[in-house]
A = this chain, B = another copy of it.
Amino acid sequence: MSILIKNVLLDGKERNIYIEGNQIEAISEAGSTKEAEFVIEGKDKAAIPGLFNAHTHAAMTLLRGYADDMPLQEWLETKIWPVEARLTEDDVYWGTKLACLEMIKTGTTFFNDMYWHWGGSSRAVAETGIRAALSAVFIDGFNMEKSKEQINRNKALYEASKKLPARIIFALGPHAIYTVSEESLCWTRDFAEKHDLLVHIHLSETAEEVEGCIKRYGMRPVEFLDSIDFLSPRTIACHCVHMNRKETELLKKYDVKIVHNPTSNMKLAAGRRPYEELKEQGLYSNIALGTDGCASNNNLDMFEEMKIASLLHKAFSGDPTSMPAKEAFELATVNAAKMFRLNSGVIEEGKLADVVLLDLKKVELVPNHNLISNIVYSANGSCVDTVICDGKILMDGRRVEGEEEIKSKVSEVAYELVKGDERKD
C-alpha cells in the first residue's frame, strides 16, 4: 500500500510525504508529483510523528471514573484490586479496544502496556492496528508456586507472540519489587537477556515502596536491583519518583530507561522526581512520558500529558523555563522511540510510517506563531485529524472503523464488572 500526503506543513514548510509499505519513503517539496493508492490532502494540516504513551494499563479504561479522590491504599484494596480479580480475558479485550480507540483518536500510535490477560490485550492491538509493547503483569507475591506458574506462562506468551504482527512487541512485566520475589526477578533478568526483551517494571513510585524495600532487603530499590544485576538498557523503569542521587547514578550507569507519569503521580500524590537533576546527570534522552492507566489519570491523551509534565516541573522547580515545549514534545516522540528501539519518533525518510496530521483550523491551534508551543500548551487530542500507523490509515477525518461498536460494548462490559456497586451520575 502507498499513501501520498500532499501539501502538509512539516518543519515550517508545505511538503509532500510519500509512504510505501510501512515506511516513509520520500519527503519532497509540495507540488512535486508522485502517484499513490491513497492521497490525503494535507492543506491546513501539520504532520508530526505519532505520539508514544510509554506506560499504561490500557484495559483500565473499563474503570475510568469508577473510584477517584481516595487514599492510595484504600483505593487499591477496596476498589481496583477486587474488580481486577473479576476480570476475564474478554473484558480485557474490550477495555484494550477502547484504549486503542482513544489513543488513535488522540494521536498516539504506540503504547507500552502491562496488564492481566495478555491474550485479550494482544488480540485488541492486533485488530486495531496500533503499535505496542505488551507485557503480562507478573506478580508472585513471594510464593514459589506462583513464581513457577508465572514463568511458564511468560514462556508460553513469548512463543505465542511470535505469531503476531511485528508491530506487537512482547515484553516482560515484573510488576514491582514489592510484589515479585528476587527469584522471579532473576529469572526475568536472564530470560530478557537471552531473548533480548524489554523489561517493564514499576520502580520507586511511592515512599512506602522504598521503606518496604529497606525493611526487606536492607537497601533502597535501585540498589537492590543493582545487587542482583537486574539493571540494563532494556529496563523500562516507570515512575522513578523516590530516588536519591546514588540511585539515579545507577540508572545512568546502566542506561536504564525512565518513564515519567506526571498526571498519575499528581493525582495519587505520589511525589515528584526533579526533572532538572535527571537532565543534569545526562539522563534526558532516557526519559519518556506515560499516562498510566485510566483509573489514575483518567484519560490517555498524550497532548494533555505533555502539558501537565511541563507545568509540573515549572511549578515545583520555581523556574518557568523548566521543561520547555520542545523537550516535552521530544519526551513523547524521539526519546520514546529510542526507549522502545523503534526506527521512528521523527518524520524523516526511512523511518516507520507512524504519522499524525493535526488540523490547523482547530481553534486551539490559531494563530500558529509556534507550532510546538501550540501542540504542548494549547492542543488536546481532538486536534488530531488523521492517524497513520505502520503505513496504514487508522483514522481519517476523525473517523475510526468500528468506533460505535467498541463504545457501546465497552459500556456494557464495564457496568457489568462493577454491578452491585453504587453508580453515581
> Hey, which bits of chain A sit against chain B, CB under 8 A?
9, 11-12, 46, 61-66, 68-72, 75, 98, 101-102, 105, 263, 265-269, 271-272, 294, 297-299, 301, 304, 307-308, 310-312, 314-322, 324-325, 361, 363-364, 366-374, 377-378, 380-382, 403-404, 407, 410-411, 414-415, 418, 423-425
- Provide 14 A-B residue pairs closer than 8 Å at the C-beta atoms, listed in order of the A residue: A46-B425, A64-B366, A64-B373, A65-B371, A66-B369, A69-B320, A70-B320, A102-B363, A267-B310, A267-B377, A298-B377, A301-B364, A370-B425, A381-B382
Q: Are A414 and B315 in contact (CB-based, < 8 A)?
A: no
A10 to chain B, nearest CB (A): 9
Q: A65-B371, A265-B315, A361-B404 are in contact. List 8 more A-B contacts (CB 8 A).
A: A9-B425, A64-B367, A65-B370, A267-B310, A297-B378, A301-B380, A361-B407, A382-B382
Complex contact B312–A315 (CB within 8 A): yes
The copy count of this chain in the complex is 2
Q: How far is the CA of A377 from the CA of B361 in the complex (A)?
A: 26
In contact, A424 and B68 (Cβ under 8 angstroms): no
Is A68 in contact with B380, judged by CB distance below 8 angstroms? Answer: no
Q: Which one, B61, B69, B320, contacts A321 given CB within 8 A? A: B69
Residue of B nearest to A66 (CB): B369
CB-nearest residue of chain B to A421: B369
CB distance from A279 to the nearest CB of B (A): 14
Among B102, B312, B369, B380, which residue has its beta carbon within 8 angstroms of that of A65? B369
In the bound complex, residues from chain B placing their C-beta under 8 Å from that of A374 are: 64-65, 298
Q: A298-B373, A363-B102, A366-B411 are in contact. Are A320 and B268 (CB under 8 A)?
A: yes
Bound-complex Cα distance A324 to B68 (A) = 8
Q: In the complex, A369 Cα to B83 Cα: how many Å?
A: 14
In order of increasing CB-CB distance, the 4 nearest A-B pairs are A382-B382, A65-B373, A367-B414, A12-B425
Instruction: Give every chain B residue within 8 A of A312 (Cβ-Cβ).
Output: 266, 315
Q: Decide: A368 and B425 in contact? CB cutoff 8 A.
A: yes
Distance in Å from the Cβ of A310 to the closest Cβ of chain B? 8
B325 touches A68 (CB 8 A): yes
**Distance of A77 Cα from B332 Cα, bound (Å):** 32
| Contacting pair A266 B364 (CB below 8 A) | no
- Pair A370/B423 contact, Cβ less than 8 Å: yes
The reply to whether B66 and A299 form a contact with Cβ atoms under 8 Å apart is no
Which B residue's beta carbon lies closest to that of A103? B363
With the chains together, A321 CA to B73 CA distance in Å? Answer: 12
**B-side contacts of A382, CB under 8 Å:** 380-382
Give the distance to chain B from A323, nearest Cβ to Cβ, in Å.
8
- A164 CA / B381 CA spacing, docked (Å): 38
Q: Is the pair B269, A317 in contact by a Cβ cutoff of 8 Å?
A: yes
Nearest-neighbour CB distance to chain B for A407, whole angstroms, equals 5
Q: Given A312-B266, A423-B369, check contact A364 B410 (CB 8 Å).
A: no
